Chain A
Amino acid sequence: MIEVKNIKKSFQGREVLKGIDATFMPGQTNLIIGQSGSGKTVMLKSIVGIHEVDNGSILFDGKEVATMKFKERQKLRQEIGMVFQAGALFDSMTVADNIRFPIDMFTNMTKKEKDMRVDHCIDMVELENAHHLFPSEISGGMQKRVAIARAISLEPKYLFCDEPNSGLDPVTSIVIDKLIQRITRDLKITTVINTHDMNSVMEIGEKILFLYQGEKGWEGSSSQILHVDNEDLNRFIFASNILKKVRAIETK
C-alpha cells in the first residue's frame, strides 16, 4: 500500500502540487487522471523519488520514505518497477538485455536462471521472438511491453506507469491496459497508472484519482465516474462525444 499525505511541490515558484492526499491499495489498478499540466507526472515522479517533495510525506507499506536510511531507500527502489511514457529502454541493449539488466545488477542468479527469468517476463508480456531485437527495431506498442517486462523482472511490489498507452492505437492501448491489470492481479502488486486516456479509465480504473490544477478534484471508481456531479471532472471526461452518448444511453 502507498499513502501520500499532503504533498506539495513547486518549480521556480510555481506550485504544481498543492497538498494532495491519496491511498493506493495493492492488487488493484490505481489511476491518476487529469488534463495535461494538472500535475500527474510530477506526482508520480515525486512518489517514486525522482522529485523531492517540498512538503508532506510518502509512505510505502507504512514506512515513510523521508525517514528511511540510504540502504533502505536503495532496497525500496529495487521493489519499484516503472514504465516511462516513452519507454526509456536502453538503446544500446537488445530487448532481452534490457529485461536482464536489473537482474544482472541486483541478483546473484546463474546464467541459466537469468535466461529463464527473462523468458518468463517476455512470456508474461506476450513478446516472443523479440529477444535479439533492439528498441529501435520494434514498434511503440512492443517497446511498452518490453518496458513493462523490464519493470517486473525483479518481481516488484510497486509498479508505476506514466501514460503507458500514449502514442498507441486504441487496440494496442487496450492490450497494454489489460496486460498491466493482469500483472497487477497475478503478482498482487500496488500499481499506479498516470493517464488521460478515457478508454483506460473505463476499462481498468478500479480506483481513480482526478487531479485538477495541482489539487485532488475527485476520487472514486470507473463505475461512479460517469455520474459524478463535479464540473471540472465532467468537463474532462465528456470532452469526448462518445462518452456523452454513453451517459445519455445509461441515463435513459
Chain B
Amino acid sequence: MKIFESIGDYCILMAKVFKKPQKMSVFWEHLLKEIDKLGVGSMRIVMIISIFMGGILTLQVSYNLTNPFMPKYLIGLGNRDTLILEFSSTILALILAGKVGSNIATEIGSMRVSEQIDSLDIMGVNSASYLILPKIIACILFNPVLYILSVATGIIGGAIVGPVTGVVSMGDYVEGLVHTFNPFYVTFSFIKSLVFGFIIASVPAYYGYNVRGGALEVGKASTDSVVLSSIFILCADLIITQLFFK
C-alpha cells in the first residue's frame, strides 16, 4: 500500500512542480544558478572519471582481443561504442545520481526541517515549483552536455593510454573510432540522458521535500533517494533500450 501512496504523492508533487513560475525573472535567475551548481559544477568529476574510464576500456578491450586475426582498430571501435551507448549515459547517470541527487535531497530536506519551505508557503510562493522546477530543468538541459563531454574525454583517455602503453597505435585507434559509426547511437543515448536528467533531479527532490524530523532523517532521505534514483535509472535504461532496439 505504501508504494502506491508514494507514487501518488510523487505525482501530486510533480503536478505542483510543473506549474507556470510565479515570476519568470526570478525563475530564469534561479535556473541559471542551478545550471551552474548542478551542471557546470559536475563537469570536473565527469571529465576525470571519463578520461580514466576511456583509458581503462582501451586496455580491457586490447587484453581481451587475443585472436591475432582480429584487427587492432576494434579497440577504438569498442571504446567508442561502449562510451556512447552505456558508459557516458547510464554509468555516468548513476554517478551523478550520487553526486547531484544527494545534493538536491540534502538541500531541500534541510530547508524543510529548518522551516524555510513553510516560510515560502506562508508567503504565498509555490515552494515546490520555486525550488524543484529549476533543478529538474537544469538537469534535463545539462545532462546531455555532460554526456557529450564524457564521450569526448573518454575517447581522449583511450587515445592517450592506447598509444602510450603500446596496445594500439593512434592510427588504428582513430580508424576504430570512425569505423561503421552509427549516428543513431548518439541520438538514442541523448534521449536516455534527458530521461536520466529528470530522474536524477525529481526523485531526490521528492525525498527532500517530504522529509519530516531532523538531521538524521535528512541523511536517510538523501541515501534512500540515491538508491531509488539508481534503480529508476537502470529500469529506464532497460525500457528505453528495449523500445529503440526492438
Cross-chain contact B125 with A84 (CB below 8 angstroms): no
Tell me which of B63-71, B114-122, B136-144 binds A.
B114-122
**Is there an interface contact between B124 and A78, defined as CB atoms closer than 8 Å?**
yes
B22 proximal to A (CB < 8 A): yes
Question: What does the 1/0 interface line of A65-101 toward B look like (CB < 8 Å)?
Answer: 0000000001111101010111011110000000001
A105-B114 contact in complex given A77-B122, A80-B122, C-beta closer than 8 Å: no
Q: Tell me which residues across on chain B come within 8 A of A77, comparing CB atoms.
A: 121-124
Whether A88 pairs with B119 at a CB distance below 8 angstroms is yes
CB < 8 Å: which of B22, B110, B121, B122 contacts A105? Answer: B22
Q: Which of A76, A82, A106 contacts B119 (CB 8 A)?
A: A82
Smallest CB gap from B123: residue in A: A102
What residues of A have a CB within 8 angstroms of the CB of B22 in the complex? 105
Is B122 touching A48 in the complex (CB atoms < 8 A)? yes
Contact B122 A50, beta carbon cutoff 8 Å: yes
Asked if B115 contacts A86 (CB within 8 A), the reply is: yes
Question: Residue on A with the closest CB to B33?
Answer: A92
The answer to whether A232 has its CB under 8 Å from any CB of chain B is no
Q: A49 within 8 Å of B by Cβ?
A: yes
Per-position binary interface string of chain B over residues 26-59, scored 1 when its CB falls under 8 Å from any chain A CB and 0 otherwise: 1000000000000000000000000000000000
A34-B104 Cα distance, complex, nearest whole Å: 38
Q: Indicate if B23 sits at the interface (CB-CB under 8 A).
A: yes
Q: A104-B26, A105-B22 are in contact. Are A88 and B124 (CB under 8 A)?
A: no
Main secondary structure, interface of B, reads helix
| Of the residues A50, A76, A91, A102, contact of B121 by C-beta under 8 Å | A50
Give A107 Cβ to nearest chain B Cβ, in Å: 10
CA distance A78 to B115 in the complex (A): 18
> Can you name the residue of chain B whose Cβ is closest to the Cβ of A154?
B123
Residues in A with CB closer than 8 Å to B121 are: 49-50, 77
- Per the bound structure, the CA–CA distance linking A78 and B22 in Å amounts to 13
A: contact size bracket: 20 to 34
Could you say which residues of chain A place their CB within 8 Å of the CB of B23? 104-106
The interface residues of chain B lying within 8 Å CB-to-CB of A45 are: 118
Q: Which of A76, A88, A104 is close to B118, meaning CB atoms less than 8 Å apart?
A: A88
Q: Enumerate B78-119 residues with CB–CB distance to A below 8 Å.
A: 110-111, 114-116, 118-119
Minimal Cβ-Cβ distance residue in B for A101: B123
- Which of A77, A84, A88, A89 is most buried by chain B, counting CB atoms within 10 A of its CB? A88
Tell which of A76, A78, A91, A105 has the most Cβ of chain B within 10 Å: A105
Q: Which residues of A contact B123 (CB under 8 A)?
A: 77-78, 80, 101-102, 105-106
- Minimum C-beta distance from A143 to chain B (A): 11
Shortest distance in angstroms between B132's beta carbon and chain A's nearest beta carbon? 15
Residues of chain B lying within 8 A (CB to CB) of residue A106: 23, 123-124
Contact across chains for B116 and A90 when beta carbons are under 8 A apart: yes
For residue B111, which residues in chain A have a CB less than 8 angstroms away from its CB?
Answer: 90
Question: Which of B25, B115, B119, B124 makes the CB contact (< 8 A) with A74?
Answer: B124
A88 to B114, CA, bound (A): 6
A105 touches B118 (CB 8 A): no
- A102 — which chain B residues lie within 8 A by C-beta? 123
Instruction: Name the distance in Å between A101's Cβ and chain B's nearest Cβ.
Output: 8
B124 contacts across to A, CB distance below 8 A: 74-78, 106
Name the residue in B22, B110, B118 with the highest tally of chain A Cβ atoms < 10 Å from its Cβ: B118
Task: Fill in one digit per residue for B1-31: 1 if any A CB lies within 8 Å of its CB, else 0.
Answer: 0000000000000000000001101100000
In the assembled complex, how far is the CB of residue A191 from the closest CB belonging to chain B, in whole angstroms? 15
Query: Which residues in A have their C-beta under 8 angstroms from that of B118?
Result: 45, 50, 84, 88
B154 vs chain A, min Cβ distance (A): 34
Sample of 14 more A-B contacts, CB < 8 Å, known A102-B123, A105-B125: A48-B122, A74-B124, A75-B124, A76-B124, A77-B122, A84-B119, A88-B115, A88-B116, A88-B118, A88-B119, A105-B22, A105-B26, A106-B23, A106-B123
What are 13 contact pairs spanning A and B, CB under 8 A? Answer: A50-B121, A75-B124, A77-B123, A80-B122, A82-B119, A86-B115, A88-B118, A90-B111, A91-B110, A102-B123, A105-B26, A105-B123, A105-B125
A residues in contact (CB < 8 Å) with B: 45, 48-50, 74-78, 80, 82, 84-86, 88-91, 101-102, 104-106
Which 7 pairs of residues, A with B, have the shortest CB-CB distance? A77-B124, A88-B115, A88-B119, A78-B124, A84-B115, A82-B122, A74-B124
